[in-house]
Amino acid sequence: MILKMLKKDIAVLFSERKSLIIFIIMPIVLTTILSFSLKGTFQETGKFNAFKVAIVKAYDSEEDLSYFRTKLSAYVDFDKVMADQNNMDFEKVFFQDFLENEDVKSIMTSVVMTDEEAQKALLNDEIVAIFYLPKGFIYNQLINFTMPYRNEIQIRMISSSEHQYASQIAESVMMSYFDLMNEKVIQKNVFIEVGASYLDTQDLFAHLGEILDNRVENPNSGKMQATAGMQIQHETISGEKAIDSFTYYSIAMMSMFILYASGYVGRALLREKKMQTLSRAAVAGVTKVKVLVSKFLMTLILCMVQMSLLLIYAKIVLKVDWERPLMMAIGILFSAIAVSGLGIFISAITLTRDSYKVANIFETVLIHIFALFGGSYVPLEVLPSIVSRVKFIALNSAVLDLFLGIYKGVEISNLLPQIGMLTFISILFSSLAIWIVSKREAQDYA
């Protein structure tokens, strides 16, 4: 009997042109418009609240200083140089003068972590990027400031592809520091001024020639490049694909528009009650639970068809490269299950209250709130941080996170929180729906 009801529900759905436009055409149109119009915002910096980065120190400042002392003592009185040059304490310059600067902190805060802690924090979205300060970080800066040539300092940066804006800003902030340093080094005045203070002119140039011939050894790579300076090598989390606007909005719009299926099913059930077709079904012995199961399955199919079509459209027209069909199918299934649970819950309330108000409020107000809080309109990182903290209220947020994770190549084990959340939503709302209609008499649903 449920299958017969399901077949009828699907026939009714596909006979209603207006519904099909809302479910299929509107998300396609909006995805296309938003993808193109907001394309730039996924590549350029914007306006942000302060975000957090992790600093992982691969160097030992004491060791670097000691090494530098050994190298430089051959040419100058090291202790004397360091005592007279307060600004050559690069540990202090970088961490206190630069990172603790109020202007920098208004954009980006930082915390020193171990590699393991930083990786975990990045996966948990607690930070937007990790900066690895390499071995010899202090030593190379000292060399660059005191010698005529520069050692290469390669800063490795890892960011989450979900935080395109923030990670690019973090990279720019760091670059501003290194650019400043590079500029000073290029002038070479530091070396000359320092050298001139402690060596006589003859010795200075004699040693300079020797340095030019031997080059200063980098304790990390053992190499030095005359033209090298400080650089940031930016990577995303290993194996992850970057998210562009087409990818983002095809998922974001999909996660929003599947919510309309919930509103549709809520409205459809009350409409059937008012048409008395539900009465007819009840007289034929159709129980309340069977009606709900039928509506659940109808929403499930509607949602799965809707999502599949939107993803196919994104692949063919917007050239979004979905690479994991099995994972996509799992994502579609669990998303549809959650939407179906929510749908029959709205149905139950709409039906027992005998008013379209509930479905109307859901469609005209709640879906848009969910869309905002769940990141369907704009990525959450551009909104106040409070929005990110309450995103769990929005079903579409879990769908969005799940599909972004699938797209980026995240392992299924790391997507279990999203899958679990969607399953929980489905079970919770389905149970509530059954409870609501069960405590009512037949006339309340028919």
Partner 1 sequence: MMLEVKTLKKKYGEFTAVDGISLHINKGEVVGLLGPNGAGKSTTISMIATLFKPNSGEILFEGENIVKNPKVIQPFIGYVPQEIALYETLSGYENLKYFGALYGLSGKAIKEQIQRISKIIGIEDRLKDRVSTYSGGMKRRINIGVGLLHNPKLVIMDEPTVGIDPQSRNHILETVNKLKSEGISVLYTSHYMEEVEAICERIYIMDHGKIIADGTQEALLEQSKIQSGMKLKFEKPVAQIVDQIKAMAWVTQVQILDEYEMIIRSSGNGSSHKDILNALMAMNSGLISFDIQKPDLEQVFLHMTGRGLRD
Q: Which residues bind partner 1 (CB under 8 A)?
A: 1, 4-5, 7-8, 11-12, 15-16, 274-277, 279-286, 441-443, 446
User: What span, in angstroms and rounded, lies between the C-alpha atoms of 437 and 345?
Assistant: 10
For partner 1, the closer of residues 221 and 277 by Cβ is 277
Residue 299's region, left for phi above 0, alpha for psi from -120 to 50, else beta, is alpha
User: What span, in angstroms and rounded, lies between the C-alpha atoms of 314 and 245?
Assistant: 11
Q: Are strands 108-113 and 51-57 parallel, antiparallel or unpaired?
A: parallel
Contact yes or no for 247/408 (Cβ under 8 A): no
Q: Looking up tokens 């941080």, which residue turns up?
A: 385
Least separation in angstroms between CB 260 and partner 1: 18
Least separation in angstroms between CB 52 and partner 1: 54
Candidates 395, 396, 373; CA nearest to 386 is 373
Least separation in angstroms between CB 290 and partner 1: 10
For partner 1, the closer of residues 10 and 26 by Cβ is 10
User: What span, in angstroms and rounded, lies between the C-alpha atoms of 402 and 439?
Assistant: 36
For partner 1, the closer of residues 227 and 443 by Cβ is 443
Least separation in angstroms between CB 286 and partner 1: 6
Q: Which residues pair with 57 in a beta bridge?
A: 133
Contact yes or no for 123/112 (Cβ under 8 A): no
Least separation in angstroms between CB 28 and partner 1: 23
For partner 1, the closer of residues 258 and 291 by Cβ is 291
For partner 1, the closer of residues 16 and 179 by Cβ is 16
Least separation in angstroms between CB 120 and partner 1: 54
For partner 1, the closer of residues 221 and 287 by Cβ is 287
User: What span, in angstroms and rounded, lies between the C-alpha atoms of 81 and 86?
Assistant: 9
Q: Looking up tokens 């879906």, which residue turns up?
A: 367
Radius of gyration of the chain (CA): 31
User: In one letter, which amino acid is 422?
Assistant: L
For partner 1, the closer of residues 202 and 443 by Cβ is 443
Least separation in angstroms between CB 445 and partner 1: 10
Least separation in angstroms between CB 321 and partner 1: 39
Least separation in angstroms between CB 442 and partner 1: 5
Candidates 345, 241, 221, 298; CA nearest to 19 is 298
Its sign, for the CA torsion 109, 115, 120, 123, is positive
For partner 1, the closer of residues 285 and 384 by Cβ is 285
DSSP string of 22-62? IIIIHHHHHHHHHHHHTTGGGTS------EEEEEEE-S-HH
For partner 1, the closer of residues 8 and 52 by Cβ is 8
For partner 1, the closer of residues 5 and 303 by Cβ is 5
Least separation in angstroms between CB 441 and partner 1: 6
User: What span, in angstroms and rounded, lies between the C-alpha atoms of 127 and 120?
Assistant: 9
User: What span, in angstroms and rounded, lies between the C-alpha atoms of 265 and 301?
Assistant: 12
Question: Which two tokens mark 116?
Answer: 């393991």
Least separation in angstroms between CB 269 and partner 1: 13
For partner 1, the closer of residues 276 and 385 by Cβ is 276
Three-state secondary-structure class, residue 148:
coil
Q: Which residues pair with 158 in a beta bridge?
A: 130, 235
Question: Which two tokens mark 275?
Answer: 């048409």
Question: Which two tokens mark 406?
Answer: 């699938």
For partner 1, the closer of residues 19 and 168 by Cβ is 19
Three-state secondary-structure class, residue 159:
strand
Least separation in angstroms between CB 5 and partner 1: 8
Its sign, for the CA torsion 158, 162, 164, 165, is negative
